[in-house]
A and B are shown apart, each in its own frame.
Chain A
Amino acid sequence: MTLTIDHLDCSLGKRQILHDVSGLRASPGEITALIGPNGSGKSTLLKAIAGIEAASGRIRLGERQLDALSLEQRSQCLYYLLQDTSTQAALSVFEAVLLARRTQVAEPAATALSAVERALTSLELDPLAERELVTLSGGQRQRVAIAQAIVRRPRLLMLDEPTSALDLHHQLQVLDYLRRLARREEIVIVLAIHDLNLAARFADHLWVVKEGRHIVSGMPEQVLTPERLRDIYAIEAHVEWPIDAPPRVIPLSALHRLGG
């Protein structure tokens, strides 16, 4: 069930954010990382695919033409997990994950409870099941948000900067989990991410957007070159692809200095 996007335009109010974004492909079983500078339209692109932001263009997931589906219909096969998972809701972790399931399917209570239990266990959230969301740390909330996503068994899972609130240990843990999830369930995972080292290490495929336009996409080795990084981020960077160690992207300097 490959995700394909062509001729996607999206405006927020009078401001056009996405300009004819075309040629994006993401395969099942793989992680596709969406990278680009701040304000390049990464979040808007993910929200447009999810139907949260109105957009025009062609979005297909396998045989399904997503752009012809309503928000509710799209939510049956995809899920978007936003960057900020903070909430003041007086709900327990179990209630929050069960809610994610209940808003998608009407099913016997036993089936829903089993599904929630499996999701919590797979993310090692069992000890936190009765805790209220407001009492959780940023990292714990992020794991709950991922549990809310996987309990809905989406075919396409989009995550907006899923590692931004996590410490190094949890960053590696969550991305490793997502990679195994993509392989095991054969789902399409697209994640917007700023950390190029993590993108290089965990993504099978990269999409690059800048100023609302699709610049390039391909394997990390093809995309993450010093020349491209200069074009995309206006930085000088050193990139290494060792055979026996994870790839390394080392930013050296910004081409433009603040204050001249």
Chain B
Amino acid sequence: MKATTRLPHIAKPESTAARYLARQRRQRGLIVLTALAVLASLLADVATGPGAYALPDVLKALVAPSEVSRVLQIVVWEIRLPVALMAIIVGASLAVAGAEMQTLLDNPLADPFTLGISSAASFGAALAIVLDFGLLPVAGTLLLTGNAFLLAMFASLAIWALSRLRGVSIQTMVLMGIAIMFFFNALLGILQYVASAESLQQLMFWSLGSLDKASWGKLGLAGLALLVTIPIFVRARSRLTALRLGDVQAKAMGIDVGRLRLRMLLCCALLSATAVAFVGTIGFIGLVGPHIARLLVGEDQRVFLPMSALTGALILSLTSILSKTLIPGILLPIGILTALIGLPFFVSLILRSRRELWR
């Protein structure tokens, strides 16, 4: 209503601007609803776990930690909350990276998984697990995380560097990503072949994706990557939307397409490398999150970007709850569930939608 009162000349309900403002209100309403769903899912995730604590007690532990037992305090603040928040941050990171990769590369299948970034990270993890070899001078769990991050960045930068070559089409960049995926999968295969049974099991567990190693420190770093990149995407929102009209039309609007693509790909690289390094390979979020967002609010980045982040966060948060509750007493690897649940959901969405996603 505020907008229509500021715009008396378009207050007529039939005017195109008034209809646009109504559409915008609907889009923003959907974003608020999804944000509330994320919040509800976060609370449900914190309330779920092997220790049977009542929801009111868990809520009390969150708002007034000093009023609950020390054990509950530790369970909520040191174990469950970091995991629940990690699900949200990683879900948002993967979905935003996927959304922008799809926009930048004009390809509906582009995401950190399909472009080989996850495969590179897996190889990095395998180097640490199987050979105890670190690319960074660190020890312990950081060895694995550091390797995964560095190799994921390397894979992203390889695609980025390729895009700097003159005359390279965006289709070539996508193919390069696929080639990178196969290359690192092959290297990973070699390590798996020579690995001991124990290493192989550890590697398998990592590559299925897991949130339960989350800590406040890792959470801070993953959150930082999101905090650094989101404002950059927000500033470029109009230019990113214009890219969907094709490179030439975007250039006609005065946009330096080459430079935009390079900068934004770098941000995608940072987001996906950080997410994958901390939680392992969780597929499908980068693909399904943006597609749901696109169906709900369209591709104007002013609404598409926040909606992608929220749908990604919601999917991973709900999956996190499911991973704890599906088989009581057993924590299922989250990467398996995202694929198992995401796939049929994704297919049904595409089939039900009257709008063609991407022809």
**Which A115-141 residues have a C-beta within 8 angstroms of B?**
116-117, 120-121, 126, 129-130, 132, 134
Interface hit among A25-33, A84-92, A239-247, A249-257: A84-92
Contact among A82, A98, A109, A126 for B248, CB-based, below 8 A: A82
Residues of B within 8 A of A51 (CB): 251
Q: How far apart are the CA atoms of A94 and B21 in the complex, in Å?
A: 10
**Which A72-94 residues have a C-beta within 8 angstroms of B?**
72-76, 79-82, 84-85, 87-92, 94
When C-beta atoms are compared, the residue in chain B nearest to A75 turns out to be B254
Q: Is B251 touching A103 in the complex (CB atoms < 8 A)?
A: no
Q: Is B20 touching A94 in the complex (CB atoms < 8 A)?
A: yes
Contact among B239, B244, B253, B254 for A87, CB-based, below 8 A: B244
Report the interface size for chain A: residues with CB under 8 A from the other chain. 46
Q: Is A113 touching B300 in the complex (CB atoms < 8 A)?
A: no
Residue A71 at the chain B interface, CB threshold 8 Å: yes
Q: How far apart are the CA atoms of A91 and B299 in the complex, in Å?
A: 6
Contact among B15, B252, B300 for A79, CB-based, below 8 A: B252
Contact among B19, B167, B242, B299 for A103, CB-based, below 8 A: B242
Residues of A within 8 A of B352 (CB): none
When C-beta atoms are compared, the residue in chain B nearest to A96 turns out to be B245
Residues of B within 8 A of A84 (CB): 246
Contacts A103-B242, A109-B3 given; does A116 touch B17 at CB 8 Å: yes
Q: Is A114 touching B9 in the complex (CB atoms < 8 A)?
A: yes
Residue A260 at the chain B interface, CB threshold 8 Å: no
- Of the four ranges (under 10, 10 to 19, 20 to 34, 35 or more), the interface on chain B belongs to 35 or more
Give B225-241 as 1s and 0s: 1 = Cβ < 8 Å from A's Cβ atoms.
Answer: 00000000000001101
Contacts A75-B252, A100-B253 given; does A90 touch B355 at CB 8 Å: yes
Contact among A75, A110, A126 for B16, CB-based, below 8 A: A126
Give B300-343 as 1s and 0s: 1 = Cβ < 8 Å from A's Cβ atoms.
Answer: 10000000000000000000000000000000000000000000
Residue B249 at the chain A interface, CB threshold 8 Å: yes
Residues of B within 8 A of A236 (CB): none
Q: Is A91 touching B17 in the complex (CB atoms < 8 A)?
A: no
Contacts A89-B244, A109-B3, A129-B16 given; does A72 touch B256 at CB 8 Å: yes
Chain A interface residues toward B at CB < 8 A: 13, 47, 50-52, 71-76, 79-82, 84-85, 87-92, 94-96, 98-100, 102-104, 109-110, 113-114, 116-117, 120-121, 126, 129-130, 132, 134, 152
Enumerate 10 A-B pairs (CB-CB under 8 Å) in ascending A order: A50-B252, A71-B256, A84-B246, A90-B298, A92-B23, A94-B19, A113-B7, A113-B17, A116-B17, A117-B16
Apart from A87-B245, A116-B16, A117-B10: 6 A-B pairs, beta carbons within 8 A: A91-B299, A94-B19, A96-B245, A103-B238, A110-B6, A110-B10
| Chain A to chain B: the 3 pairs with minimum beta-carbon distance, closest first | A75-B254, A89-B244, A129-B16
